[in-house]
Structures are given as C-alpha cells and as structure tokens.
Amino acid sequence: MAIITSYFKGETYGLLGPQMAATTIEDFSGCECIVIAVSREDDRIALKKALADYFGAHQPIIGFSALSAREDLFSLAAELKNEGTITILGGPQTNVDFNGEKGWREHPHRFKGAWGSFSFAVQGPAEQLIPLLNLLDTRDVGSIPGVLIAETDGTVRQNASKAWDQSTLGKVRWDNIYILANSRLIPLTISTGQVLQHIGCPHAARTTESRIDYPASINAREGKSIKLPLRGCSFCDVAVDKGFHGTLDTETVLRQIRCLPEIADGRKIPFELINEYPLPILPALLEAVHSDNIELSQINLTLRADGLISGIQYLKVLLTIAARRGVFVLLSSIGFESFDDRILQNLNKGLSVADNLQAIRIMRDLKAEFGDAFGYSSREGANHGFIHPTAWDSEETAAENQKIISLYGLQDDILPPHSTPLVIHHASALGDWIREIEQREGFQWPRYGSVIGWWDTPRCGHD
C-alpha cells in the first residue's frame, strides 16, 4: 500500500499524520505501506510509472491524506480508481470532503464531494483501515468503524468512527517517506519531525456566538454581518474537524520522541510539538526526556499569543533548562494573523492587536535574556501566521495593519516572507458564513474543488 500526500518541492520536513498512519498499517496488517510526498511540480505520468513499478503485479491500494485541497490530487485519485486502483481517502476533513458541501444537491454550484474519486474513505484513527484491508474485495464494510462508502448517485453510507486511542499514537517510522525523482521513488531523508501532544485545539473546545461582517466587496458602508455559532477560529478546518480531544500522556509523547531520527552527534532531529498551549507542561516534559537519556537538539513551538502571555513563567523555566542542556527552543509559529482588530474579530481569533503586540514584546525581551537558547524571528526560521488578503480588507484595515507593522518594526523579525491568503474550506465556519450570504443576497461564489472562491466577484442568481 502507499499513501499519497501533498508536499512542497525541495522541503525536508516529516509528515506525522501520514507517516504514523503508514506505520500503524504496516504493523497491524502485515502489508507494506509507504508515504509518497507529491508536489505540484511533479509530473503525473512519471508518478504513475513509479507507482506501477512499486506495485508490480500486486493490486494497487493507495490512500490519500492531507491533500491541502489540491484539485490535481483529487483528480489523480479519480483517474487511478478508473484504472483499477483501490483508492482510499483519509486524514483531516475526510468526512466532509467525501460527502461534499452542505446542500450541494439543491445548490449545484457547491462542491459535490470527492465520493466519485475514491473506493472508500476512512474518518478518524488509521487503525480502522486494518479490517477494511482484509475486506476490500467484498465491499461488506457495514461493521467497520469510520468507513464511508458511496453509491453511484452520491448517497453516502457512513459508520461511526472509533475514538482516538493513545496506544496507537506512540509510534512513527520516519524513514517511510519517498519523493519522485526521474520517474522513480527515492527515500526522503527528513530534517525535522513532529510530535503530537494535543488532538485538536483547546480554542475549538467551546462554541461561542459571534458576528462576522459581510465581505468588504459587497458591504460598502452598510455594516451588515452574520451571527454564527463558532468553534475556534472561523477559518480553521481543524477546529471543525477535530474540536479538542485532549492531551496525550507523557509516556505516549516520550515514545514518539524516541522514534525521531538522530543527527550526527546522536541528538534527536528538531521537532515541532503539536500543542497550541504547550508551556505549562514543557519543563516537566524536558526533565522526563532527560531522565530517559534522550538528547534533544531543538524544539519548535507553534502556539497562540495568549498561550505565550499566560505561560511566560513556564517558558523562562524551560529556557533555563534548555540553555543548560544545549537545546534550542524556537517559537516557530505564532498565529498573529493580522494587526487590525476588525479582521481579528472576523477571524474569531479570540485575540486583539494588543495581545499580539504584548506577545511580540515578550519574545524580543526573551531573546535579549536567553540569546543562543532561544529563537523567535523569521531569520531564525520562524514563520508566524499573517493572513492577507482577507475578505474584509478595506483602505482602513490596510492603513491600520501598515501603521502597526512600521511602528513596531514587524518587517524586521515577525512578518513571514509571504503572507497566507485567506482560504475558505467549504466545511469551515466561514463556509457557513458565505453560504448564508449567498442565500440572503442571491449571490453565488465559485468553488475551486473544496475551496470557496471568496476573492472572485459573485454571480447573481439563486439555484
């Protein structure tokens, strides 16, 4: 079996989700499973030749995971399925991407779903694939948890998923990832890994009622907005897909750290800790790692600005320990997203510009205090979140963002080389927002696969 996943050309990061899934499948099914990282630049014919060489005379079974809404990968899955490959959709947003956008039958301009491109889909933990792999010939999947299967008219049958089980989340084989080179699959040696500690995000644990403004393009000075129940940031599909399922115990996290490859001096490669509020538990985790005789080189933290502000005393303890042990702590990604309060409100970030600026002051002060043990800037490899353009950009928001950026010198150390345009996945809260505006105003925005093209001029007319 192989799992195809989206990748950026020339990168060397590991992919926890697909690589852990491949490890679980191999360990529990006895079926070899590799991950193939496919970039937009890869040639489809060369990839299909490499797949044919890999499978030889065996029935090809290809999972697709973490596709980053890439239409080229959805159409590759459809092509392979038509040619006899068993294609299985898994990973984040499986359920909603397989089923299609809410109301697509009544509203034909909406995303119809990827059910036609895949033989099956599996929502939730990878171990659910094991019984499925034994039954592929019979299509008798009625009792297998997490499985989705479609009739030819798009009617989807869906079994409830299993809960996440820590016992299968401790092991990752990091040498099972391949890339395409000269029509062949070659191993990719990764230089950074990931360690999972939180399943989902605590900011998405609670539902709040919020108002989101109409897009600036159709709302000139009218002040219209939509009230919506929101779980986490309005643009975040993790928030809708997973919510928050809690924290893995320390032993499971240590098992994952033990799996990381080592660099030449015997220390573990740098890794990103997946936890939006990691600071309170990190000093104890670092001590546990040390007691286990594991040497670390670098920990990359992705956290929220409020997590940094509330956890500053823990971070100082952590940096003191890290400096003593020669471990570099990089605040590699803080989701600032904007420096305009109206846009932060519409993103439902739960943070203000003042919070973002306080977090930046803290990082700059820590750099002065902890020097070589601590990094936070774009020069040091950080890539902080900055979403632009957005649907609410106006002359006022542009002026406000620009004012804060130049007043606080954010271009020197905080802003990433490129901003990230707002993406509205059809199943994010902003998907509900834009559908509500379509209904009220009689507009239709185009769909690009599973993404809603908010940046285009909407077409008039009800379906």
Residues near 388 by beta carbon (within 8 Å), at least 6 away in sequence: 338, 401, 419, 420, 421, 422
- Shortest Å, Cβ 202 to ligand SF4: 7
Q: Which stretch binds ligand SF4 (CB under 6 A): 10-18, 89-97, 231-239, 354-362?
A: 231-239
Element holding 408 (H helix, E strand): none
CB of 195 to ligand SF4, least distance (A): 16
Nearer to ligand SF4, 21 or 204 (CB): 204
Nearer CB in complex with ligand SF4: 201/430: 201
Shortest reach from residue 93's CB to ligand SF4, in Å? 13
What one-character DSSP code corresponds to residue 288? H
Of 203 and 367, which CB lies nearer to ligand SF4 in the complex structure? 203
- Could you tell me the smallest distance in angstroms from the CB atom of residue 305 to ligand SF4? 10
Smallest CA-to-CA distance from 401 within 341, 354, 334 is with: 341
- Binding characters for ligand SF4, 318-337, by CB under 6 A (x = yes): -----------------x--
344 scored as a contact of ligand SF4 (CB under 6 A): no
How many whole angstroms separate alpha carbon 399 and alpha carbon 46?
48
Q: Pick out residues in 276-315 that bind ligand SF4 (CB under 6 A).
A: 276, 304
Q: Cα(333)–Cα(26) distance, rounded to whole angstroms?
A: 32
Positive or negative torsion for Cα 162, 168, 174, 176: negative
Kindly state the DSSP code that residue 68 receives in the 8-state scheme. Answer: T
Q: Considering the complex, what minimum distance in angstroms separates the CB of residue 392 from ligand SF4?
A: 17
Query: Where does this chain touch ligand SF4 (CB under 6 A) — which range of 229-237, 287-295, 320-328, 416-424?
Result: 229-237
Question: For residues 153-212, which are near ligand SF4 according to CB under 6 A?
Answer: 201, 203-204
CB half-sphere exposure, 370, CA atoms < 13 A: 26
If one asks whether residue 232 binds ligand SF4 (CB under 6 A), the answer comes out as yes
DSSP E strands, 171-324: 177-181, 184-187, 193-196, 198-200, 207-213, 225-231, 244-247, 271-274, 298-303
With CB under 6 A as the contact rule, the residue among 239, 240, 281, 415 that binds ligand SF4 is 239
Closer CB to ligand SF4, residue 304 or residue 435?
A: 304
Closest CA to 31 of 86, 98, 94: 86
Residue 81 Cβ vs ligand SF4, minimum distance, rounded to whole Å: 32
3-state helix, strand, coil in the chain (%, to 5): 35, 20, 40
Stretches 44-52, 67-75, 232-240, 388-396: which one binds ligand SF4 (CB under 6 A)?
Answer: 232-240
What letters, b where the CB count within 10 A reaches 16 and e where it falls short, cover 132-143? bbeeeeeeebee
> Angle formed by the axes of helices 282-291 and 312-325, to 10°?
20
Among 80, 188, 233, 414, binds ligand SF4 (CB under 6 A): 233
**Pick 255 or 304: Cβ nearer ligand SF4:** 304
Among 188, 236, 289, 414, binds ligand SF4 (CB under 6 A): 236
Please give the size of the binding site for ligand SF4, defined by CB under 6 A.
11
Cα of first residue to Cα of last residue in the chain, in angstroms, is 42
Which positions touch ligand SF4 (CB under 6 A)?
Answer: 201, 203-204, 232-233, 236, 238-239, 276, 304, 335
